[in-house]
Amino acid sequence: MPHTVAGGALATQSPPRRSHPVLRAQLRGFATVAVICTVTSMLIFAGLRQSTGTLAANAISLVLCSILNTELNRRISFGVRGSHLWWQDQRRGLWVMLLALAMTSGSLWVLGAAWPHAPIVAELVVITLGNVASAITRFILLRYWIFRRLRPT
């Protein structure tokens, strides 16, 4: 808002910086969990791919990592302790995992159609990109659906 200062000049006050410390902390925690779960998922995928096939290895790794992901996000990103609503959080986390499964499986399907004998490196890149795309959606759903009870009213 403008106001007059010495000598009649007009000065403007800069608006106060809008800080979102809770959101920043949640994003930091989410990024940490994402790295842990992505590495774990990739290791499971790479270990299972030869024996189960690409899509099955992807599904198995995502299901196993979904439980880990939801639990780590409960603790690290959103500060939830204890077992209160654990089953509900895990059930909702599995619904969110289905979105990631659709995105990554769809990406693998497209890769397989475009490049039938793609090397594992290409598959891992496609899965990683699919996971990044689904991670944005996952964070939004975790924050505004699964853990909305933690937000101030």
- pLDDT tens digits for range 8-24: 555 455 455 567 899 99
Most distant CA atoms of the chain, gap in Å: 81
Give the phi and the psi of residue 91 in degrees, each rounded to 5: -60, -45
Please give the pLDDT value at position 132: 85
Please give the pLDDT value at position 60: 95
Higher pLDDT among residues 38 and 114, named by residue: 114
Is the pLDDT confidence value at 148 over 70? yes
Q: Where are the domains of the chain?
A: 21-150
Please give the pLDDT value at position 6: 52
- For the chain, what is the radius of gyration of the CA atoms? 21
DSSP string, 81-119: -SSTTHHHHHHHHHHHHHHHHHHHHHHHHHHHHHSTT--
Is the distance from CB of 45 to CB of 61 less than 8 angstroms? yes
- pLDDT tens digits for range 55-101: 999 999 999 999 999 999 999 999 999 999 999 999 999 998 898 88
